[in-house]
Amino acid sequence: MFTHALVRVPCENFASGLTTSGRLGAPDYNLMLRQHDAYVDALRSLGLTVITLPPENDFPDAHFVEDTAVVVPEVAVITNPGAPARRGEERTVAPTLGRYKRLARIEAPGTLDGGDVLLVDRRFFVGLSERTNAEGARQFTEIMTARGYAVDTVPVGQGLHFKSGVNHLGGRTLLATPDFAGLPVLAGYDVLVTPAGEDYAANTLYVNGTLLTPAGFPGVRRLLDGLGLPVVELDMSETRKMDGGLTCLSLRFADQPGTGGA
């Protein structure tokens, strides 16, 4: 079970962040804050203590804290973000995580975004994308295999990050877009495939036995309801405009070694 989540308040110029989603309209800061508050409330309702970092006006994407670290019971790996404009976000995340975990770091020329890293039980899938390179994946593999984890790398041909297309729903169940569902590395898992037009909802977040999912995707909602788990829908319109999703907005972890959530 997760006990803690680290989040960051979006800054006033969050709309200046990196995005390819201009077709969705101009981001609304006040609405973003309300949606972020609802997200934090959902995490608290699931028993997590939420640690809130202040806005970073020099880094408009900094509220996407997941990209700055990968946290497991044994260690917190501080990343080296793949987008040059985001390098530096990790500096204010590391001291906070260091109060709870031993730290390891991805060093240049390696790059790694947490959005490319999916943990299922004790097996990591690491997407090789525009943000995560082979050297970053190699360093991450070295850190995690030394702690008993398996690591598989997966080329990311579509989407910003691996978790834009694949996420864990608990047990042996994954939710994936059609572009990712047939990957050989996912053989042996129960893969639910997002219906046409609902790829964004592949970024569904499993927390302590509950599924948090973007509102407005009825086909994905039907798939999730079939799992028999509680489902909470959250309005993600402003985060989506900035190429973000539910997983991006927090770092979830357990505060004691050996008690981490999936």
pLDDT, tens digit, 9 for 90 and up, residues 163-179: 999 999 999 999 999 99
Would you say residue 256 has pLDDT above 80? no
**Looking at residue 259, what is its pLDDT?**
36
Half-sphere exposure of 75 (CA within 13 A, CB side): 16
Q: What's the CA gap between 181 and 193, in Å, rounded?
A: 6
Q: CA dist 90 to 45, 96, 105, 137, 165, Å?
A: 27, 10, 10, 17, 24
Give Cβ neighbours of residue 218 (< 8 Å, ≥ 6 apart).
Answer: none
Q: What is the pTM of this model?
A: 0.94
pLDDT, tens digit, 9 for 90 and up, residues 15-32: 888 887 666 888 999 999
pLDDT, tens digit, 9 for 90 and up, residues 40-78: 999 999 999 999 999 999 999 999 999 999 999 999 999
* Partners of residue 176 on adjacent β-strands: 166, 193
Would you say residue 162 has pLDDT above 70? yes
Q: Which residues are catalytic?
A: 161, 248
Determine the average pLDDT of the residues in 5-17: 94
Would you say residue 91 has pLDDT above 60? yes
Mean confidence (pLDDT) of the chain: 95
Top CATH class, 4-253: alpha beta
**Looking at residue 23, what is its pLDDT?**
65
Cα 187 from chain centroid?
22
